[in-house]
Amino acid sequence: MSKPVTVARDGNVAVITLDNPPVNALSFHLRKPLNEALETLRDDADVAAIVIACAGRTFIAGADITEFGKPMQHPSLPDLIATLETIDKPTVAAIHGTALGGGLELALGCHFRVADRKARLGLPEVKLGLLPGAGGTQRLPRLVGPQKALEMVVSGRPIGAGEAHEAGLVDALADDDLVGEAVALARAEAASGAPMVQVRAREDKLAAARADIGAFDAAVAQATRKARGLEAPLACAQSVRNALTMPFDEALAKEREYFARLVSGDQSKAQRHLFFAEREAAKVPGIGKEVRPRPVARVGVVGAGTMGGGIAMAFANGGLPVTLLERDREALDRGLATIEKNYAASVRRGSLDEDGKAARLGRLSGTTDYAGLADCDLVIEAVFEDMAVKEEVFGRLDAVVKPGAVLATNTSYLDVDAIAATTGRPQDVIGLHFFSPANVMRLLEIVRGARTAPDVVATALSLAKTIGKVPVVVGVCHGFVGNRMLSARSAENEALLLEGATPQQIDKAFTDFGWPMGPFQMGDLAGLDIGWRNRKALGKTAPVADALCELGCFGQKTGKGFYLYADGSRTPQPDPEVTRLIEDKARAAGVERRSICDEEIVERTLYPMINEGARILEEGIAARPSDIDIVWVNGYGFPIGKGGPMFWAEQLRGLDTIVARLAHWHGETGRAVFEPAPLLKRAAASGGGFAGEARKGAA
Ligand code: 3HC
Ligand code: NAI
């Protein structure tokens, strides 16, 4: 192992190089020697200035997240930054890659920052349910102004070096000799003899906001409007605000206090779980680094409807040329026009510029002839959810697409193995299940068939990274992980309606739990006819939703669904006719209506999902409980502050409770979704949790 801290001399400038692979996190074994090196250099009369740089692929990516929740080993990061900040000779951070969280906070403890032009800088702690805890909320506003700091700290989004330079966060940009330029700046500053000004002492950018705190509070309200029950964004905003109203040291102490509270709270634990779960999900048993992905230079998409269009955009956004195939010219033109309209909307919103739009559209082409897909390295089918149609499409792909290409299906429920078996190359077939809108939603369920080749799975994982998706590899079953668990709760939503709840009460219980939307509002938004068609295909019924559809009430698009939407409005209004319809259906089914509390709604909708998750683990459809959490957080909007259904069940609610209440509801209703799954019962009884039981199953 290389030394984490080395010091070299370039004339009278000392260059400290940190080397803590893979991302130079500020672990104890880095903080301690760095603090010692700083103290030595501070007292060394031959050293006129100090540069801090990093080896490897990046500058410091933050505090070491694995140390959170464990006893602090000194020096702490705030102590280390205090040592750095009080050095009375020029100090310069030389930033390449990413300076994030505690890494940027350390850089803010220097007098100057020089950044590589491609570097990115930010304070992403909010994404871990935290706020910057080593002075970031106090020093950043002093360099970039409180409004920009507020935006950066509450969103957690890093900014590029150019923007950082314009904002005053970075003093100089470097082209190829980053450390050389940082040394030159340090030497020039030392030679100038000018007194060094600490970042903490720079107050000029705070003056305007101090004079109009009302304007700043309006910005706070705007920045935190989507906090949805999360504590961290509010603490971030409050701490930046403290920079305006408190002396530096007092505000710093407050920041520390908020950090201590958040880091020991459930939300941050859940979000840290998700950080590691996401990285874990990309590691697939049996797919090691030796399995090389197949090269993919050109992508084909069959079907330019809702999903095909979104999938094509996702690849075009990721820089890959895409050919879209449709049944006829009219459908193709419609699909391409929708894509163009979506990009134009992004330009209007300011999230894309005209050049970006032109570049993306330039990567898209259309065809109605399968020969146009012959050269594709990957073709994704997104046609109607109908086995006969899928079979026909795969037969035609098999006939024309070059050997070795990956053939993927975006099916929501159908058997990927059966689809693969219709081709002469089942080893090349895989499920790539995107979520709507496919160009936005981060989740990609990668469905590994019984005969899918390992390098095809590796190709899918690598492509997911290229297009910015979070991949989770799952096995073949009806609905895979996400939709299978969703099905386990759908019938309960209707049952609750008949038994006495209203759509608005159920939706509110969901949003109070932290979901962005409840199931009825969601159904109205997506169109109730979609579920209706699916139910009819599967021979299933949902008395209330079916009756609405029979009346032509499909949701927002018809102005009526579970709610009323007056004059094209998207705001749902309770509909007395729906209440009457529910009452009629309850009477017809002989169900006596009663008052239903929110806790019952949570238990009866969420516990069956967790139960189904346990069955999914038992069957090996998901490799780990954390993979299921990643599916639900990234594909269905499960609240991040609760860490996903399996984490929530195990860490926050307790598996004993879940088993007991499932058994209760099983007794009450007799429905199979409530019968506690064997793995769930074992996980609760053994205390080993889901992961322990899933591992035993895999061994
Ligand atoms: N602490 C501990 N481990 C970390 C880490 C951190 N801050 N950042 C990354 N890692 C680990 C990852 O878990 C992963 O481990 P693995 O290989 O065993 O799975 C490995 O480093 C590589 O990470 P990625 O796979 O994410 O690598 P990428 O190249 O895709 O991304 C990155 C690099 C952009 C730096 C990304 O890792 C990242 O965003 N890291 C987290 C940054 C962050 O949140 N910093 C704030 C930390 S909190 C803080 O600083 C508190 C302070 O205010 C007091
Ligand atoms: P859609 O109806 O919007 O689009 C399907 C498109 O396929 C239509 O444009 C149609 O013209 C075209 N098509 C049909 N047969 C074809 C053929 N033989 N050759 C070429 N094109 C053909 O449907 P949507 O919603 O995009 O769904 C597509 C697939 O994606 C389905 O398997 C669905 O289950 C799945 N899916 C849908 C999601 C959703 O939210 N809509 C989410 C995830 C998966």
Judge if 303 and 259 occupy the same domain: no
Judge if 304 and 252 occupy the same domain: no
DSSP string, 464-519: HHHTT-EEEEE--STTTTHHHHHHHHHHHHHHHHHHT--HHHHHHHHHHHT-SS-H
* Beta carbons within 8 Å of 58's beta carbon, 6+ residues apart: 23, 24, 96, 97, 98
pLDDT in tens, 214-261: 999 999 999 999 898 999 999 999 999 999 999 999 999 999 999 999
Q: Domain ends where: 203, 236, 263?
A: 263
**The pLDDT value given to residue 639:** 97
- The residue contributing the CA closest to ligand 1 atom 16 is 279
H helix or E strand, kind and range, residue 6: strand 5-10
Q: Which amino acid, one-letter code, is at 461?
A: L
Judge if 169 and 41 occupy the same domain: yes
- Which pTM was predicted? 0.95
Handedness of CA 478, 479, 485, 491 (dihedral sign): negative
Kindly tell me if the per-residue pLDDT of 1 is higher than 70: no
pLDDT in tens, 297-319: 999 999 999 999 999 999 999 99
Is any ligand 2 atom within 6 A of the Cβ of residue 591? no
Q: What are phi and psi of 6, to 5 degrees?
A: -130, 150
Selection from 302, 552, 316 nearest residue 419 by Cα: 302
Q: Domain ends where: 419, 441, 476?
A: 476
Selection from 608, 625, 591 nearest residue 659 by Cα: 608
Share in percent of the chain as helix, strand, coil (round to 5): 55, 10, 35
Query: In sequence order, what E strands does 209-356 have?
Result: 299-302, 322-325
Kindly tell me if the per-residue pLDDT of 52 is higher than 90: yes
Q: Which ligand is closest in space to the CA of residue 60?
A: 1
CATH number of residue 336's parent domain = 3.40.50.720
Is any ligand 2 atom within 6 A of the Cβ of residue 522? no
pLDDT in tens, 545-554: 999 999 999 9
Residue 47, domain member (yes or no): yes
Residue 686, domain member (yes or no): no
**The pLDDT value given to residue 50:** 98
Judge if 242 and 342 occupy the same domain: no
Kindly tell me if the per-residue pLDDT of 166 is higher than 90: yes
Do the Cβ atoms of 373 and 405 come closer than 8 Å? no
Residue 461, domain member (yes or no): yes
Is 365 strand, coil or helix? strand
Judge if 129 and 54 occupy the same domain: yes
**The pLDDT value given to residue 304:** 97
β-pairing verdict for 364-367 and 172-174? unpaired
pLDDT bracket for residue 530 (50, 70, 90) = confident
Handedness of CA 405, 303, 445, 677 (dihedral sign): negative
Question: What whole-number percentage of the chain has pLDDT above 90?
Answer: 94
**The pLDDT value given to residue 309:** 98
Residue 570 has which token pair?
Answer: 């998207």
**The pLDDT value given to residue 568:** 80
Place of tokens 């990609």: 444
Judge if 343 and 388 occupy the same domain: yes
Q: Domain ends where: 215, 238, 263?
A: 263
CATH number of residue 70's parent domain = 3.90.226.10
Give the Cβ contact number of residue 495 at 10 Å. Answer: 18
What average pLDDT score do residues 10-37 get?
Answer: 97
Q: Which ligand is closest in space to the CA of residue 260?
A: 1
Residue 692, domain member (yes or no): no
Judge if 447 and 505 occupy the same domain: no
Residue 331, domain member (yes or no): yes
Kindly tell me if the per-residue pLDDT of 533 is higher than 90: no
**The pLDDT value given to residue 698:** 72
Q: Which ligand is closest in space to the CA of residue 392?
A: 2
pLDDT bracket for residue 537 (50, 70, 90) = confident
Find the residues whose C-beta lies inside 6 A of ligand 1: 22-23, 25, 58, 61-66, 77, 98, 100-102, 105, 124-125, 128, 130, 132-134, 136, 276, 279
Selection from 59, 65, 235 nearest residue 153 by Cα: 235
Give residue 78's domain range: 5-263
Judge if 401 and 505 occupy the same domain: no
Distance 694 CA to ligand 2 centre (A): 35
Question: How far are the Cα atoms of 122, 128, 259, 642 from residue 268, in angstroms, in the given order?
Answer: 19, 6, 10, 9
Report how far residue 420's alpha carbon sits from residue 444's, in angstroms, rounded to the nearest whole number: 19
**Active site (catalytic) residues:** 105, 125
Residue 244 has which token pair?
Answer: 């305006």
Is any ligand 2 atom within 6 A of the Cβ of residue 628? no
pLDDT bracket for residue 524 (50, 70, 90) = very high
Residue 378 has which token pair?
Answer: 């990957």
Is any ligand 2 atom within 6 A of the Cβ of residue 365? no
Residue 107, domain member (yes or no): yes
Nearest-atom number in ligand 1 for the CA of 279 is 19
Residue 191 has which token pair?
Answer: 């030679």
Judge if 544 and 462 occupy the same domain: no
| 166-180, 523-537, 597-611: range with lowest mean pLDDT | 523-537
Distance 23 CA to ligand 1 centre (A): 6
Residue 191, domain member (yes or no): yes
pLDDT in tens, 326-372: 999 999 999 999 999 999 999 999 999 999 999 999 999 999 999 99
What average pLDDT score do residues 485-490 get?
Answer: 92
Judge if 209 and 139 occupy the same domain: yes
Distance 61 CA to ligand 1 centre (A): 6
Judge if 514 and 471 occupy the same domain: no
CATH number of residue 542's parent domain = 1.10.1040.50
Residue 469, domain member (yes or no): yes
Judge if 471 and 511 occupy the same domain: no
DSSP bridge pairs for 292: none
Nearest-atom number in ligand 2 for the CA of 530 is 41
Nearest-atom number in ligand 1 for the CA of 100 is 45
Distance 69 CA to ligand 1 centre (A): 17
DSSP character for 63? B
Number of domains into which the chain is organized: 3
**The pLDDT value given to residue 111:** 98
Is any ligand 2 atom within 6 A of the Cβ of residue 306? yes
Kindly tell me if the per-residue pLDDT of 699 is higher than 80: no
